[in-house]
Amino acid sequence: MKEAIIKLFNDIFNYNSKGNLYFSPGRVNLIGEHTDYTGGLVLPFGIDKGTYIFAVKNNSSKINIYSDNFKDGIISIETESSMIKKSHWSDYFKAVLYVLSNDSYSINSGFDAVIAGNIPDSAGLSSSASFEMVSMICLLDQNGYTIPQPGSEKMVELSLKGQQAENQFIGLQCGIMDQFACANAKKGQAIELNCDTLSFQYAPLETGEYEILVINTNKKRRLEESKYNERRLECEKGFELLKKLGITEKKLGNVGLDRYNTVKDGINDELLTKRLDHVIQENERVKKAVENLKNNDIMGLAKQINVSGDSLREKYEVTGFHLDLLVDIARSTEGVIASRMTGAGFGGCTVNIVQSGKLEQLCNTISNKYTNDSGIKPDFYSFNAGNGTCKLF
């Protein structure tokens, strides 16, 4: 990628010059689904695919950026002008500039830059958070600020600014997981994150003869946003009922399973009980999954992933025909020990643990069965746990 992006810069801007290369990965969430917005636990890892920016100072106050993924020309942004949202990919860059400029950072140095990414499109792997975080360290470094290391207190702060950029400028009320995972990833590690306190720990992601396989249903999402908001509202309603039953925790994600079980029978709402069951039990599954990773217990991890998937289907009801079909086919295929939906649901991807030695055979089997039953051909992505947001040179 290094040589390719430098050549791209030379072709687009028509000059050669020494510059700086920045990177931020995408992410996969192993377990802890639909828990982030309740202040619960998640277990993502940064993938070895991501977004790159190569930048060269241009001795002005103008930033000129070109995206190899969109190929719609050079976009020019004045660092000192007000940021205007245009429903364009460059909004994410502007959002980061907006947040930094409104904070204590002095961002006034211009540069020319090309952006290139190798995260699969529309796969729910946080390409937007990856772009936000790589844009942030590019802007900071080009203006003389030190780039913090993944996992440091300062990088955690920058993760929050990435979330603010999406919330305040883009207008999407995302949780903290995506930006946090992209920014603070470490090679060979997953991150257990408490989305309320932002306390976190790394856990070794050593899968031995197995590997993580993401499969895209390629089903277009139509209900995602409305159903996502519906689930959030149901969780809020359920939490209010728990408070009336004596629960004193400030966030639903802080409610322990034992405490929940002592008041559960008083809820008297079957639907809300199912939603609460998922969120509170999912937090326990994340804790068990972390212990599985620490003990190098891949079968134990697989069990937690499968139970999580069943809960997302039966209790949280965020799957649908295509995700259910793909999970059922995968689980019945030799060489697959775990499969569940990942992301918001109602389409998108599954995360799977599969035997490396049977990868080609099982991919062919799953592809043929899924295509035959759905009329859609799935896509397969194999990832390793890679490093977080950083300056490469």
Active centre residues (catalytic): 178
β-strand partners of 65: 75, 113
From edge to edge, which strands make up the β-sheet containing 349-355? Answer: 336-342, 349-355, 210-216, 379-383
User: Residue 384: phi, psi to the nearest 5?
Assistant: -110, 160
Contact criterion met (CB below 8 Å) for 213 and 205: no
- Residues 73-100 as b or e (16 or more Cβ within 10 Å = b): eebebebeeebeeeeebbbbbbbbbbbb
State the Cα–Cα distance between residues 170 and 88, nearest whole angstrom.
Answer: 10
Q: At what angle do helices 90-102 and 127-142 cross, to 10 degrees?
A: 50
Burial of 139 (0-12, 13-18, 19+ CB in 10 A): buried
Break the chain down into helix, strand, coil percent, rounded to 5: 45, 20, 35
